[in-house]
Structure 1
Amino acid sequence: MNRIPAFVLSILVLLAAALAPGRADAGEPGRGDLLVISYHDIRDDVARKGDPDLYAVGTQNFAAHLDWLAGHGYQPVALADVIAAANGERPLPDKAVLLTFDDGLRSVYTHAFPLLRAYGYPALVAVVTDWVDMPAGRQIDYGPRMFSRDDFLTWTQLREMQASGLVEVASHSHDMHHGVNSNPQGNSTPAAVTRIYDPAAKRYESEAEYLARVRDDLATSASLIERELGRAPRAMVWPYAAYNSQVNAIADTLGMKVTFDLEGRNQPIVPGMHGDGLHGLARLLLFDNPGIDDLAYELRHDESLEGMRALQVDLDYVYDADPAQMERNLDALVERVKQIGPSHVFLQAFADPDGNGSADALYFPNRHLPMRADLFNRVAWQLRTRAGVQVFAWLPVLGYELPDASLRRSLAIDGSNPAETFRLDLFQPETRRIISGIYEDLAASGYFEGLLFHDDALLRDDELVGTAPSDPAARTQALIDFTLELRDAAGKWRPKLQSVRNLFAAPVLQPESEAWFAQRLDAFNAAYDYTAVMAMPWMEGSSRPQAWLDRLMDEVRRHPRALERTVFELQTVDWNTGEPIPADLLKAQVRRLQARGARHLAWYPDNFIDDVPPMSDAREAISARSFPYLEP
């Protein structure tokens, strides 16, 4: 398998920059913070830019990095220092930095190690044990060329580096640095987080089979490292930064109580973090042979200032009973998203063919509703790897039409308006169990980086009287708490999920209407990474759409720092007439919102079948690229 195969190449690039507001700090690390930098190959002949190996760094640039870090007050630390700080034994120095090297390449010994000794920098070297001292004649497809045993470290070299006191060896798995079959359509996704699909048996690995496979791999790797080096590994560096809480727990039981991913740059290391606190430590992935100016930019720029540009997409329009037509629909979607260039896609994970806002079925294997097609994982992965966007799964919170009619009736919200979306009663334990299971099943079956909570999460003041709190703020909080339970249920299999929740405009424009919706902007912005305000004047019956949007913006701005987390989600269709909003008007709305300070924008629906809004206008309005025009 490739070291950085096509199925994961774009993930690693985008993970290096994919930060939610408030989840990672901006700029250089301060007191008690740890910066971790991820390197791979160090070579003399790396092209200045555009080398066939995107993750190789030139020897001169690597030396310049060490010199720049030393000259700007960074203090090198070893893994032992990080563990000691987490145990409360001694604090990390200011601007602490830990260097890591993935994959166990020979250049760590021949090119990096001499410089580490010269500068006195410790490092963590993560090896794929199946590649160390591999047999003569065996080759690994490492991307730019086939690699042989001469390209990887030997146990003798690892023993020498470890004996220097500068290098600690971590596991990078025994044999999970590759993709495995993840769905009936044949997509490959990282082995450590995927339940393998067997096309012959037409079944997925069970949870027990999956966890046993991971445990066997990690146990083999840890045993080999201890046998050859005399020390068991204390850290696990997940291939492709793909992990979940369950495999971290396995690593923990095998003595690897520190694990790393590739999301973010800095994190505080404080006493009491031993245990789960040292799992999933952020690392800055270096790629495209950065010079010191590139490194300085990566360490100093404020990622929280970057805006979201999102398309909300109906998977119902990808689905077709004819598999060939469904593939054509998928290709049309991916090509459109690639050409427009948004940062995010909010992708429907439920089937709503009657358009009533609740889920009749789901697009992933699950325990509770029919599966219309095993489609979500396929489309999400194609969007991620071919179009280079972050995919958020869009699911209802309460709107599930359970196939068992008696159960559906017993769990339904009594007396709700039949014209509104069917919803289940969140105060019934069985409702919570079922919906939490749906979110967990979604996360177990597909790759995504966030959740969009649907607009069905509302609770009127005349619903569930005597059961729901009478105070509107308490009802709002009850719904928030439930969505966070759902996020955590999905988080069992998908770590560090970002969250977005739809908010009707009425509670923003008329705060007293919290009583009608159990929704409030400041409460949402405190609970979620983003709030997607439904900035849809035609849906609200406004005869003066621009004035209505101006007023909405004014009300959002009244809340401190609300623009940092508020997504203004525009409508592209007037559902009263069925006609598209004219593209010029849509672009004018985007420009005005931006001019008045809107940082995050989205729209719904994005009709990839009929090219509405037209692609050229969509690129101009909603692209996240700095040069949003047609690529050659």
Structure 2
Amino acid sequence: MFKPILKFILVLIGFLSSYAMANDLPNMCSRDQNVNEFTILSYHEIADKSETLDSTYAVTPSNFDRQIHWLMDNGYHFVGIDDILAYRNAGKPLPGNAVLITFDDGYESVYTNAYPILKKYKIPSVIALVGNWMRATDKVDFDGHMIARSKFLSQTQIKEMVGSGLVEVASHSCCMHKGIAGNPQGNMEPALTTRQWLVEKQRYEDEKSYQQRIYNDLLENNVFLERYTGQKPRVMVWPYGRYNIEVRRIAERLGMPIGLTLDDGSNTRITPLWGLRRILVEGKMTLQELEFLMWMRNGNFTDDARTTKAAHVDMDYLYDADPIQQEKNIALLLERIKKLGVNTVYLQAFADPDANGAADYVYFPNRHIPMRANLFNRVSWQIAKCTQVKRIYAWMPMIAWQLPKNNPAAKDTVVTLQVDPTHLNMGYPRLSPFSPKARKVIKEIYEDFAKSAYIDGILFHDDVTLSDFEDDSVFAHKQYKKWGLAPSVTQIRTDRQQFQQWTKLKTHYLDAFAMQLAQILRDEQPGLKTARNLYAQVALNNNSEEWYAQSLHESIKNYDYTAIMAMPYMEEAPDAQKFYDEIVKHVKEEQCGLERTVIELQTVNWRKANEPISSQELDQTIRHLYTLGVHHIAYYPESVYTNNPDADMMNQAFSQKPVRMYANTMPNQ
């Protein structure tokens, strides 16, 4: 009698393993240990393929019916907005496995093919309506395509559904479900979160104008929808899933405390109402895939935590004073990325023409650093729209900024007593992280960057470090006194106990500042992931925290990803394979070490006049790392023009699957 159960378990394990392999999903270590409180599904059209406007997100009526029945048969309970608010505001418990059904854009097929099922089983739902589409009389401008108004819900149909008590009307903006110019090059980007490039004025709209534009649009839609449907929206469904701190505050002011996103992850007790996460149900999604995603959310795993296959790209290689040549360079990069098969790009946001490790210029508009070219937004958007890349990280310094001499914080720099030749010393010019003026400037640089480009993550430069002879500035002295230490580095170094305490405090201080900067970015890019470059010696030598104020343990704990610069030629390691093996060994000793560590390889030998490392060696190294169970691999630098490393060979190497166990990602039977 155990054979049917055993067969079921084997089939399920086989499916989940193959699904995870196909989607590059490793074992995942969730930072948020709270349980999933409810799951939200995002539907669009419910129509057969021949009747759809966009087949990508159109679910056939038969599949919708099967999905609803699967949910009912497997212990899921449908809830509405009232239930969620009663739970969050008054503590009224939700039923187990609570699910909210939502429909975006207001397609007529929702009334024809979904509403009968909702009505039959008394299922609450939310429909998100775009005011400008609803009030059209003949044609709807649907992302640049003119569509018959009859393809969308009529006023009569909406009022009938609202009158049933099952359907709640949400705002999907009045005129913001479209793209607007997001940079001088003319990329069309989401209107709700983009500071518009004003072609005639050759500048971006200012912050006051931006917020007024958003306020006017959301207010107009609320007034219209209340008159049109008889119901005032209290839910804002962010167009394209994009939102930021400004728009969610405006929505709250207008009586919409709930915001529905397309962010990845579960809805736990710490998920804010304005940032509730949804599973986007796609047209080709099978019932098994939906089942897997539901299980992932209930297990509080992220469903896009795929293995990292990253190219680390210098923007300096793309920049050209000739805009025509610059566009050609970008086109070459895009074609190369496609061939490489990478799913992640670390993209330089700063310029370092004198190669001293500090940012002299940046590639985005800001208040403090000269802009070499308004290029980052252009390149990142093109990569996102034209290639297979899923995540773009901005590669940015934390403290290695060379400010103009007239900047009030320009002289507030890290003071180094001496360089210790016994370990690697980068010696970048850096602003003192202990200077209030310097911290303010750095935060403002990050604020400006956050509003100028779309990114999925931040990769902090390897400047997040202070050596065992740093920082001896007057600002640091004040901080050391606050910590209860001697006021100078020289005095601290004479007391072993103070020295060890000082080392730990510096490590924590730098990481805490990085998290503050990440939060500034996250206000504009809510799903932002964090990564940082870490010196290889930090993973190899127990004394290295004293040398760098970097800790493998603390880094894995604080950042989503730690990118170890595993570069044996730079480190002059006598045995490269042993070098990699030792790093991986120490990473495995950390909780979630493999899940949160990127092994970043070098493609040139800087100690031999930038001699290229052979693609065959890189291929063998990647394959070897995969056999060790490494999930995440990157390489630097990416050479756009010399095919180094060889794109076809890297694609083949990256196509290999890491060796890993799936026991921790199996449902309990």
- TM-score, normalised by the number of residues in structure 1: 0.90
Residues 217-250 of structure 1, C-alpha deviation per residue, up to 9 Å, x if partnerless?
0001111122233331111001101110110000
Equivalent residues of 1:64, 1:291 under 8 A apart: no
Counterpart position of 1:124: 126
Q: Which residue of 2 aligns with 1:582?
A: 614
1:623 positional shift: 5.1
Structure 2 match to 1:297: 292
SS at match of 1:539: helix
2:537 to 497, 506, 511: 506
Q: How far apart, CA to CA, are the structure 2 residues paired with 1:555 and 1:518?
A: 18
Shift of residue 564 of structure 1? Answer: 1.1
Q: After superposition, what is the alpha-carbon deviation per residue over 1:75-98, rounded to whole angstroms, capped at 9, x for unaligned?
A: 000011111111133111111110
Over aligned residue pairs, what C-alpha RMSD do you find? 2.4
CA contact (8 A) 2:309 2:342 kept: yes
Larger radius of gyration: 2
Of 259, 277, 280, the residue aligned with 1:282 is 277
Question: Hey, what's the Cα distance between the residues in 2 that align with 1:223 and 1:24?
Answer: 40
Tell me which residue corresponds to 2:461.
Answer: 454
Match of 1:609 in 2: 641
Residue 548 of structure 1 and its aligned partner are, at CA, apart by 1.1
Structure 1 CA distance for aligned equivalents of residues 343 and 148 of structure 2:
38
What are the within-5 Å matches in structure 2 for residues 424-573 of structure 1? 424-465=431-472, 466-467=477-478, 469=480, 470=499, 471-573=502-604
Equivalent position of 2:99 in the other structure? 97
Query: How far apart, in 2, do the equivalents of 1:239 and 1:95 lie?
Result: 27
The residue aligned with 2:380 is 380
Shift in Å, 1:265: 4.9
AA aligned opposite 2:45 = D
Cα deviation for residue 593 of structure 1 reads 1.1
**Do the aligned residues in 1 keep the contact of 2:60 with 2:283 (CA within 8 Å)?**
no
Contact 1:401–1:408 under 8 Å retained in 2:
no
Q: Which letter does structure 2 place at the counterpart of 1:606? A: E
Identity of aligned residues (%): 40
The correspondence of residues 241-252 of structure 1 with structure 2, limited to 5 A, is 241-252=241-252
1:106 partnered with 2:101: no
Distance (whole Å) between structure 2 residues aligned to residue 238 and residue 291 of structure 1 = 26
Counterparts of 1:454 and 1:483, CA distance in 2: 11
Shift of the 404–68 alpha-carbon distance from structure 1 to 2, 3 Å rule, reads: same
- TM-score (ref. length: structure 2): 0.86
Q: Measure how far apart 1:508 and its partner are.
A: 1.4
Matches within 5 A, 1:140-219: 140-141=141-142, 146-219=146-219
The counterpart of 2:47, out of the listed 43, 49, 52, is 43
Query: In the alignment, what sits opposite 1:345?
Result: 345
Once the 2 structures are TM-superposed, how far is the Cα of residue 291 of structure 1 from its aligned partner?
A: 3.3
TM-superposed deviation, 1:613: 0.1
Q: Which amino acid aligns with 1:391?
A: I
Q: Once the two structures are superposed, what CA deviation does each residue of 1:135-190 show, in whole Å capped at 9, x if it has no partner?
A: 13x233468x7421111112222111011011000000001000000111010100
Equivalent position of 1:9 in the other structure: none
Equivalent residue in structure 2 for 1:33, among 34, 37, 41: 37
Rounded to whole Å, the distance in 2 between the matches of 1:88 and 1:17 is 41
Whole-Å separation in 1 of the counterparts to 2:110 and 2:27: 33
Deviations 1:270-323 (A, max 9, x none): 4xx6xx820111111111332322322332356477311111100000001111
Compared with structure 1, are the counterparts of its residues 290 and 553 closer, same or farther at alpha carbon in structure 2 (3 Å cutoff)? Answer: closer
Q: Residue 526 of structure 1: CA displacement? A: 1.0
Please give the alpha-carbon distance, in whole angstroms, between the structure 2 residues aligned to 1:125 and 1:84.
20
Q: Cα deviation per residue 1:45-97 (whole Å; 9 max; x = unaligned)?
A: 459xx995211110000011101110111100001111111113311111111
Q: CA deviation at 1:44?
A: 3.4
Unpaired runs of 5+ residues, structure 1, are 1-15, 627-632
1:85 equivalent in structure 2: 87
Q: Which structure exhibits the higher relative contact order, with contacts defined as CA atoms closer than 8 Å and separated by 6 or more residues?
A: 1
Q: Write the distance in 2 (CA, Å) between the matches of 1:511 and 1:234.
A: 54
Structure 2 Cα separation of the partners of residues 18 and 592 of structure 1: 19
Aligned-partner SS, 1:568: strand
1:396 is aligned to 397
C-alpha deviation, 1:25, in angstroms = 7.8
The answer to whether the 8 Å contact 1:31/1:93 transfers is no
- Classify the secondary structure of the residue corresponding to 1:266: coil
State whether residues 360 and 402 of structure 2, in contact with CA within 8 Å, keep that contact through their aligned partners in structure 1. Answer: yes
CA shift for structure 1 position 492:
2.4
Q: 1:598 is matched by which residue type in structure 2?
A: V
2:622 paired with 1:622? no
